[in-house]
Chains A and B, each alone.
Chain A
Amino acid sequence: MTRLSANVHGWLLLLPAAVLLAAFTHVPAVATFWHSLHTTPKGNRPARFVGLRQYETMVQDPVFWQAMWNNFLYALFTIPASVVLAMLMALWVNQRLAGRGFLRMSYFVPTVLPLIAVANIWLFFYVPDYGLVDVFTRVLGFGPTNWLGQRDTVLGALMVMTVWKEAGFFMIFYLAALQQLPPSLSEAAALEGASRWYFFRRVIFPLLMPTTLFVLVNAIINSFRLVDHIVALTKGGPDNASALLLFYIFEVAFKFWDTGYASALTMVLLAMLALLALGQYFFLEKRVHYR
């Protein structure tokens, strides 16, 4: 085979994947960027090139900043909480204990449920006065609270629900990683008299790092990606207190039909996710031991 035909051969092999990737990822991304430099076409008025005007509007848009801030808080709380909880649950159900299969399953159930169904369940929990949460708080002597109807509590309520859903999913990865660890490692540590905490800190935790990296990437993406529960529970309200970035994009694009502005918002979301992914792979990679 000549050099040229070998090259052609290689490209042909890559072609199907490249076409799919380009058609559904790269072209839309570039198109979105192109749209974000234009006004929104309306009826008899075609789109007009306006440069960075959409982005200038964004900087002055208080709702955008509110959504950004909400999303930041949301990520800041739900990511560590669900990852830590997932690890703890995995460590627990990895032991020999009665009803282990049942426990593993019940932790995983929230993951199997669609987010909309989860939101419906939690809607019942959060109902003022006779919802599950209020029933408990009443026992403790608190009055009824409208968890989803107040600026102060709505984002927190959504975060708790997200952690509940995400932790079980991440637990499966940790459980799989834990079961890969040969039992002789813990036996070797037991012979040396290492406490469980010491063994976790020096051996298990570092060996779980590849899983943690994977889970973190997923958790961050999910914190920007999941909006179904907002649609079902709060519609971003009250007063945008529970609006996350993607939900705001959804509103701008499909409620206000301002596609130009929505494109600009999307570009910001894309840029942020790209930066986070790069950062994770470059900084965390060095601290991760792969076998």
Chain B
Amino acid sequence: MQVSCDARISRGAGGFDVSEIVLEGVSKRWGETTAVDGVSLRVPAGSFVVLLGPSGCGKSTTLRLVAGLEAASSGRILIDGRDVTALPPSARGVSMVFQSYALFPHLSVAENIVFGLRVRRLSREERERRLERATALLGLGGLLERKPSQLSGGQQQRVALGRAIVAETPVCLMDEPLSNLDAQLRQEMRREIRALQRQLGITLVYVTHDQVEAMTMADRVVLMRGGRVEQDASPAEIYARPATSFAARFIGTPPMNLARLADSPAGAVVRGSAGPALLPGRGDGLVAGVRPESLRLVDATHHGALEAEVLSAEYLGADTVLACRVGEEQLSLRAPGQVTPAPGARVRIAVEPGSLHVFDAASGRRVDGGAATAP
């Protein structure tokens, strides 16, 4: 038996080769516009990495650069240690699931799934074997003879996944694959794709603008903005220690409160409020970040609480989100159960100790050392 001597190639749980992907200073420019601006990142072999960001942040372009559907203007892309920057898509060992699924409307489900295998001239037995496996994995039995137009959105999605699976490539790329599904189905498919990735042990790069998808599925989240990487961290870390105020606002629902601070004799206070001080030292030019779930309503006996006025209350079932005004700033607060202070009511808010994030107002960078610790 031949043993591979290349240490980078390892076997995934599903028996496929898995590869790591490395981007070194990759840029993509169209004339004046820069879609991807010097992105460097490493996707470890067999991991699930989500490229997350608002629309137009360059996440899809980054994915298409890895796939080879766009040519990089500068930088290098390595898959499995091999420089693939100049290789055509088919030579890179990647499969891809498109947002629109890109199913061939005139071919049956089975023919759609084995399309690539026919192109690669695999034997009939091999085709049948892989088709059978994908069908079983995705629960597509009984649909094989149908045309894509006769399938529901979720079923079409599964066929697109099937086409990526049968390629048995070490890397799979997905471009917003769930954005055309309804909320219920999306949740189901999220779990399914995650399970599939674990089962096959492939390296998966997944593009989405939905932070819930990123948080629930990813091993690592690469948050992008304006063509650059804003933060590259695990979901827990990006939630607990956002590197910038942008990352702080993007992750979590409702998003983190960002309140401008001001100087006062006692220390840094929320701008426009009389205190109490949230931090010792100066406050001008700083922004305090605090998650709605780290705030709670307290009674008058509580020492060091913020005076606030309720603006509105949003009842969500398990909890209620209160929008409150503190000084010149607005804070959201997540309270368990149903609390119904009328708009205009005066309340007192306590900040959980150690839950404060501090950012520089101008650059958005995190400036505090260890105020918050990852769980």
Contact = CB atoms under 8 A, between A and B. Distances in A.
Interface stretch (B34-42, B71-79, B115-123): B115-123
Interface residues of A, number: 18
A187 B90 contact: no
A182 interface: yes
Interface in A169-213: 182, 184-185, 187-194, 198, 202-203, 206-207
A249 to B, nearest CB: 41
Contact of A192 (B69, B105, B107, B115): B115
Given A190-B69, A190-B89, A192-B119, A185 B102 contact: yes
Contacts of A188: 96, 98, 102, 104, 115, 163
B69 A193 contact: no
A289 B90 CA distance: 28
Contacts, number: 66
Contacts of A187: 69, 89, 96, 98, 102
Interface in A259-291: 289, 291
A291 B105 CA distance: 7
B242 to A, nearest CB: 34
Best-surrounded residue of A185, A189, A192 (most CB of chain B within 10 A) = A192
A271 B99 CA distance: 50
Contact of B106 (A191, A192, A289): A289
Contact of A206 (B96, B100, B106): B106
Contacts of A193: 88-91, 116, 119-120
Contacts of B61: none
A82 to B, nearest CB: 25
Given A187-B69, A187-B102, A289-B105, A192 B149 contact: no
Contacts of B89: 187, 190-191, 193
B258 interface: no
Contact of B167 (A192, A202, A207): A192
Contact of B90 (A184, A191, A207): A191
Contacts of B99: 184
Nearest to A205: B106
Contact of B94 (A191, A194, A202): A191
A189 B89 CA distance: 10
Nearest to A191: B89
B105 A191 contact: no
B362 to A, nearest CB: 41
B119 A184 contact: no
Contacts of A194: 90, 115-116, 119
A67 B126 CA distance: 58
B116 A192 contact: yes
A148 to B, nearest CB: 45
Nearest to A190: B89
Given A190-B89, A193-B119, A198-B119, A185 B104 contact: yes
B67 interface: yes
A190 B105 contact: no
A108 to B, nearest CB: 28
A201 to B, nearest CB: 11
B104 A191 contact: no
A194 B116 CA distance: 7
A86 B88 CA distance: 30
A99 B98 CA distance: 31
Contacts of B96: 187-188, 191
Contact of A184 (B91, B95, B98, B147): B98
Given A198-B119, A207-B105, A289-B106, A191 B100 contact: no
Given A187-B96, A207-B105, 17 more contacts: A182-B100, A184-B102, A185-B102, A187-B69, A187-B89, A187-B102, A188-B96, A188-B104, A189-B119, A190-B69, A190-B88, A191-B89, A192-B119, A193-B90, A194-B116, A203-B106, A289-B105
Top 7 A-B residue pairs of the complex, sorted by shortest distance between their CB atoms: A193-B90, A192-B116, A184-B102, A289-B106, A188-B102, A194-B119, A184-B98
7 contacts: A185-B102, A187-B89, A187-B102, A190-B69, A190-B88, A191-B67, A191-B96
